[in-house]
Amino acid sequence: MQANDLHALAEGLLPAALAAGKVQMAYQAAGVTAITKGDGSPVTAADHESETIILAALRRLAPDVPVVSEEAAAAGHAPAVGARFFLVDPLDGTKPYLRREPHFTVNIGLIENGAPVFGLVYAPALQELYVTTAPGEAVMTRLPPSGSPRRLDECGLVHLKSREPDPAGLSALVSAQHLDRATEGFLAGRRIRERRAVASSLKFALLARGDADVYPRAGPTSEWDTAAGHAVLLAAGGVVTTFDGATPLSYGKPRFRNSAFIAWGRSPTA
């Protein structure tokens, strides 16, 4: 997409992201409950209402682009996709959300030819928005979900830039829920001075803003979990590869399932 297309998409999706965040905060405050899906993961009314808001916005902004969204896909409604499609996780981090923790996000990503070219990550409880606004450009700002949507350029945008890793001591991010033997093996082979457990796509955002160096994930994820954050990180100077450290993580795979991957703030460090 052209630079002006990405900016227009970011601005067009801003009201939907804030509206979804407002719904999520209201349900969390009221003590939302969950049901268990077929894969064992929880889902709430907030997931479904947020998805409805986002899908309506995407139909309006990009009616010809297929959308693969987590809850619709779980119900068996995943469209056939081509070179260009959206991936949506309306509420990433449902488990911390149910515990009334702040680390949950709204994720909207656009894929072109297997690569994420646009991403929007909104953390309503933290009032943090991360979004790509042009090729190679990602920004963040603070926006409460209860606020009135404004033009992006009026939101006090801060440009994101990841940092060069220090091989003498890396800051690593790990999943708050899924720390497995393969991830532990990756970390054991490197000099790690700090390890932080963070839920949801916020791990990509922390890498993008230069707060950490690496995020390895060997456990299962779906493409809608990673696409938006992946796009933001790429635009900020990062890279995401499969566990071999050389092959870029791509999208449009069977059942929209990811292989193990490693997200780096900058170039991979041996």
116 bridge partner residues: 111
pTM of the predicted model as reported, rounded to 2 decimal places = 0.96
- pLDDT tens digits, residue range 6-52? 999 999 999 999 999 999 999 999 998 899 888 888 999 999 999 99
For the chain, domain boundaries: 3-159, 170-264
Please state which of the ranges 98-102, 162-166, 180-184, 236-240 shows the lowest mean pLDDT.
Answer: 180-184
- pLDDT tens digits, residue range 109-167? 999 999 999 999 999 999 999 999 999 999 999 999 998 777 898 899 999 999 998 87
Q: Identify each DSSP E strand in 113-189 by its residue range.
A: 115-123, 128-134, 137-142, 158-159, 170-175
* pLDDT band per the 50, 70, 90 thresholds, residue 180: confident
Domain 3-159: state its class.
alpha beta
3-159 with 170-264: one CATH topology? no
- pLDDT for 207 equals 98
| Residue 260 CB coordination number (10 Å) | 19
42-44 and 67-69: which strand pairing?
unpaired
- pLDDT tens digits, residue range 67-119? 999 999 999 999 999 999 999 999 999 999 999 999 999 999 999 999 999 99
- pLDDT for 219 equals 85
137 bridge partner residues: 134
| Residue 192 CB coordination number (10 Å) | 16
- pLDDT for 226 equals 98
Query: Tokens 């916020």 map to which residue?
Result: 202
- pLDDT for 220 equals 87
- pLDDT tens digits, residue range 207-232? 999 999 999 999 889 999 999 999 99
Q: Measure the CA–CA gap between 31 and 105, rounded to whole angstroms.
A: 18
Mean pLDDT of 48-61: 97
CATH ID of 170-264, from 3.40.190.80, 3.30.1490.20, 3.40.1390.10, 1.20.810.10: 3.40.190.80
